[in-house]
Amino acid sequence: MVEAVGSEQERALVELAHRVLPGGGFGNLASDIVIAEGYGARVRDVSGNEYVDFLLGSGPMFAGHAHPDVIAAVQAQIVKGTTFFANSEPGIRLAAAIVDAVPCAEQVRFTSTGTEADTYAMRLARAVRKRDKILKFEGGFHGMSEYSLQSMTPKRPGNFPQAAPDSPGIPRSVAGDMLVAPFNDPDMAVSLIREHRDELAGVIVEPFQRLIPPRPGFLQALRDVTTACEIPLIFDEIVTGFRFAYGGAQEYYGVTPDICTLGKIVAGGFPLAVVCGRAEYMRHFDRGQMGDDVLPQIGTLSGNPVASAAGLATLNVLHRPGTYEAVFATGQRLMDELAAAIAAAGLPAQVIGMPVLFDVIFATGDIADYRATLRQDTDAMRRFNRSLRGAGVLKGDSKFYVSTVHTEADVQLALAAFRVAAEAEAAFRR
């Protein structure tokens, strides 16, 4: 068991964080833990407590923390310089590796964050179509831009296709340029796209929305209608890229978009993200082809050589034979045992997701879209997560991210933690 109270050093750091950071944190995980180091599939906090890590930096560390190949690549590059604002060999080679791997990728542009990548992807669709509106799916997460923060987490969802802002500070006018459809409802999505075809610049979707898999035929329905209406289809693969398969969710599901965004894994834990797609669309970034109609995209750290070196080394690790078969097997075992622990404890909960990305949700019935997730018992989820951490397992508020380096010892510790957390929740309910 992990000690419940941190060391004096950790308490002092938490106190300092609350003095100098809003809410005491970086806006991500709760502020009551300070991580000191990570190695493989484990992390250690500044109090010396060790955890099996299913947070994985919110997903990027798919090949594990401090992977020796990634560290060697970074060290080799860092002594040559950390940024140039010009082309570099690691960036060019990473772009080539992405083009080779991802079905829709004929050309690549780099950004520093997923938010930037998704924002540019939507802007690219607008440049291509010369229209303003983007259709997204309720509950879909596409970063922190004004356009992305529409109906991502609506507490009182409205009528489709009306968008609702998720944050203060967003101009009211933005909602008018976003249309919203329910995920996994192909009939409504197709109907809305056809109805608004003359206004739409593009359709953006997470092919696997947060924790919800697409129903059979849903993605293909989006592909068919956007092709028929000549509307760019954007896959947000910030999370799923290089996680579901080497070619991402588009390879896994067999549906190829026109544009996609990549992040997290593709940078090996460094700040780098990607917009990629068909050359006829990507040419809009090229002043030589577009002249004054060019879509400007400038970033001081875009294509950063250190991040590119880390990303290229990570992709080389993932491209080894058997990698995805092994991680899927590990994840499936974890999902099955978590479901068994919940059932044994008699909890009204279920495990949803994929072997590489899943969670328990405290709700019964079919969970096929965002509105279904509103049935979940969030207090129970918080208690469950606290119990897991007390038993030596670290995860985010939602999602178990599974890595390629979770060992048998890691799995055994996790299985024991599942039973502890399930039994604790059952005892709380009695």
The CATH number assigned to the domain holding 366 equals: 3.90.1150.10
Q: Is 159 helix (H, G, I), strand (E, B) or coil?
A: coil
At residue 202, does pLDDT exceed 50? yes
The CATH number assigned to the domain holding 96 equals: 3.40.640.10
Domain count, the chain: 2
Backbone angle region of 405, left / alpha / beta, with phi > 0 → left and psi within -120 to 50 → alpha: alpha
**Domain finish residue from 276, 300, 318:** 318
Tell whether the torsion through CA atoms of 377, 378, 383 and 385 is positive or negative: positive
25 with 58, same domain: the answer is yes
What is residue 2's predicted lDDT score, i.e. its pLDDT?
A: 45
Amino acid sitting at position 187: D
**Is residue 94 assigned to a domain?**
yes
**Domain finish residue from 291, 318, 345:** 318
119 with 250, same domain: the answer is yes
Per the CB < 8 A criterion, the answer to whether 122 and 147 are in contact is yes
279 with 343, same domain: the answer is no
DSSP 367-414: --SHHHHTTS-HHHHHHHHHHHHHTTEE--SS-EE--TT--HHHHHHH
pLDDT digits (tens, 9 = 90+) for 30-50: 788 999 999 999 999 999 999
Amino acid sitting at position 98: I
pLDDT digits (tens, 9 = 90+) for 279-298: 999 999 999 999 999 999 99
What are the C-alpha distances in Å from 4 to residues 52, 87, 400? 16, 49, 22
77 with 166, same domain: the answer is yes
Q: Specify the residue for token string 């006829």.
A: 280
Residue 417: pLDDT band by 50, 70, 90 thresholds? very high
Amino acid sitting at position 299: G
Per the CB < 8 A criterion, the answer to whether 395 and 30 are in contact is no
Q: Specify the residue for token string 């898999």.
A: 213
381 with 290, same domain: the answer is no
pLDDT digits (tens, 9 = 90+) for 57-72: 999 999 999 999 999 9
Q: What global pTM score does this model have?
A: 0.95
237 with 274, same domain: the answer is yes
What is residue 342's predicted lDDT score, i.e. its pLDDT?
A: 98
168 with 262, same domain: the answer is yes
Q: Specify the residue for token string 């989006």.
A: 222
72 with 60, same domain: the answer is no
**Is residue 263 assigned to a domain?**
yes
Backbone angle region of 85, left / alpha / beta, with phi > 0 → left and psi within -120 to 50 → alpha: left
Q: Specify the residue for token string 């249309």.
A: 179
Percentage of residues of the chain with pLDDT beyond 90: 95
Containing 224, the helix (H) or strand (E) segment is helix 218-229
At residue 334, does pLDDT exceed 90? yes
Say what angle helices 89-101 and 305-318 make with each other, to 10 degrees: 40
At residue 218, does pLDDT exceed 80? yes
Is the peptide bond preceding residue 90 cis, with omega within 30 degrees of 0?
Answer: no
Per the CB < 8 A criterion, the answer to whether 46 and 9 are in contact is yes
Q: How many residues does the chain have?
A: 430
Tell whether the torsion through CA atoms of 87, 90, 92 and 98 is positive or negative: negative
pLDDT digits (tens, 9 = 90+) for 148-175: 999 999 988 889 999 999 999 999 999 9
Per the CB < 8 A criterion, the answer to whether 317 and 404 are in contact is yes
Average pLDDT in the chain? 96
Angle at 394 between CA 74 and CA 43, to 5 degrees: 35
What is residue 3's predicted lDDT score, i.e. its pLDDT?
A: 45
**Is residue 184 assigned to a domain?**
yes
What is residue 27's predicted lDDT score, i.e. its pLDDT?
A: 86
Pairing of strands 35-39, 42-45: antiparallel
CA–CA gap between residue 48 and residue 134 (Å, rounded): 47
When pLDDT is averaged across residues 335-354 and rounded to a whole number, the result is: 98
**Is residue 3 assigned to a domain?**
no
171 with 159, same domain: the answer is yes
When pLDDT is averaged across residues 236-251 and rounded to a whole number, the result is: 98
380 with 357, same domain: the answer is yes
**Is residue 2 assigned to a domain?**
no
Report DSSP state, residue 198: T
What is residue 168's predicted lDDT score, i.e. its pLDDT?
A: 94
294 with 177, same domain: the answer is yes
> Which ranges constitute the DSSP H helices of 49-113?
68-78, 89-101
Q: Specify the residue for token string 């606290």.
A: 386
Tokens of 104: 């829709």
Tokens of 32: 């009551």
At residue 372, does pLDDT exceed 70? yes
**Domain finish residue from 318, 336, 367:** 318
What is residue 4's predicted lDDT score, i.e. its pLDDT?
A: 43
**Cα radius of gyration (the chain):** 22
What are the C-alpha distances in Å from 202 to residues 140, 178, 209, 296? 15, 10, 18, 19
What is residue 303's predicted lDDT score, i.e. its pLDDT?
A: 95
287 with 155, same domain: the answer is yes
What is residue 1's predicted lDDT score, i.e. its pLDDT?
A: 44
Residue 374: give the domain boundaries: 8-66+322-429
**Is residue 59 assigned to a domain?**
yes
Containing 45, the helix (H) or strand (E) segment is strand 42-45
What is residue 351's predicted lDDT score, i.e. its pLDDT?
A: 98
